[in-house]
């Protein structure tokens, strides 16, 4: 039982790590990018648009479903918690628990600690934001699909901050917003955890990109694994301003015809 406490007690840090990326990722559609950019130019656009988006989005509401499935010593555990969220700029989040099921220690030590950590972390994002101050970036590819182009960047943390990560991020080539993350924590959160893989995705809601799904899978040294996930749904944009036109030189280089809504 103590080993299970050690495992799940650290899992909330892994979700908070990716949740720290959620706050600045709101995006509105802009001009269609037609030329390739350097990694520095892509990140410069991302940082500039993140600042504009943070000012534009004033309030939104949504629902989250937190789920944890642990299989291993001494036996399996399953837990779920449904939460309503109200976000008010610049950094206020109010959570209301709608329902919960499963072992109390998972509800209290993982799910509710995640909520507490997210509220605290949102007050100062400078040390954890996806910026050139915190990460080294390299352009490793570009994808095209039915939804448009995506720049693929590798990210390597510059410090040993426990909430940073290493891996890849997919950046929308039009909106300059994070679309997908595949990564591992920069620091292993526990000796008992052999490896953790994080996947996070976003979707557009009323011209804003918001979190869609988060999934963290941890492999335990003593055998077994834990799957921790968050489903984001029922969004409502309650108050937002139009985004100003981009002004960076990097975006001007990529500027092309206006994409149809």
Per DSSP bridges, beta strands 57-72 and 148-157 are unpaired
Q: Which of these, 75, 11, 8, 102, lies nearest to 224 by C-alpha position?
A: 75
Least confident of 125-139, 224-238, 239-253: 239-253
* 8 A C-beta contact, residue 178 and residue 169: yes
Neighbours of 92 (CB within 10 A): 12
Q: Is the dihedral of CA 155, 140, 184, 208 positive or negative?
A: positive
Q: What is the pLDDT of residues 155-214, one digit of tens each?
A: 999 987 777 899 999 999 999 999 999 999 887 666 667 788 999 999 988 878 899 999
Kindly report the length of the chain: 261
Backbone angles phi, psi at 120, to 5 degrees: -70, -45
Lowest mean pLDDT among 67-71, 103-107, 183-187: 183-187
Give the model's pLDDT for residue 191. 65
Q: Quote the pTM value.
A: 0.81
Q: 2-19 and 112-121 helices cross at what angle (nearest 10)?
A: 30
Q: What is the mean pLDDT of residues 72-92?
A: 92
User: How far, CA to CA in Å, does 246 sit from each of 29, 64, 255?
Assistant: 11, 32, 10
Residue 27: predicted pLDDT: 44
């Amino acid at each position: 039982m103590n080993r299970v406490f050690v495992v799940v007690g650290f899992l909330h840090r892994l979700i908070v790590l990716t949740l720290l990326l959620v706050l600045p990722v709101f995006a509105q559609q802009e001009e269609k990018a037609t030329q390739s950019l350097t990694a520095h130019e892509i990140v410069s656009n991302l940082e500039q648009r993140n600042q504009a988006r943070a000012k534009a989005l004033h309030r939104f509401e949504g629902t989250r479903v937190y789920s944890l499935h642990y299989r291993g010593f001494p036996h399996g555990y399953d837990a779920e918690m449904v939460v309503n969220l109200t976000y008010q700029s610049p950094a206020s989040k109010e959570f209301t628990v709608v329902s919960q099921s499963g072992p109390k220690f998972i509800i209290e030590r993982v799910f509710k600690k995640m909520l507490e950590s997210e509220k605290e972390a949102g007050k100062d994002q400078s040390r954890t934001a996806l910026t050139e101050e915190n990460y080294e970036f390299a352009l490793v590819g570009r994808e095209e699909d039915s939804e448009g182009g995506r720049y693929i960047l590798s990210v390597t943390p510059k410090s040993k901050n426990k909430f940073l990560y290493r891996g890849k991020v997919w950046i929308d080539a039009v909106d300059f917003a994070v679309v997908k993350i595949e990564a591992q924590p920069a620091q292993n959160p526990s000796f008992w955890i052999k490896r953790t893989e994080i996947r996070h995705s976003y979707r557009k809601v009323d011209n804003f990109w918001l979190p869609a799904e988060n999934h963290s899978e941890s492999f335990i040294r003593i055998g077994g694994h834990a799957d921790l996930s968050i489903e984001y749904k029922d969004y409502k944009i309650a108050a937002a301003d139009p985004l100003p036109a981009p002004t960076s030189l990097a975006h001007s280089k990529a500027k092309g015809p206006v994409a149809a809504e």
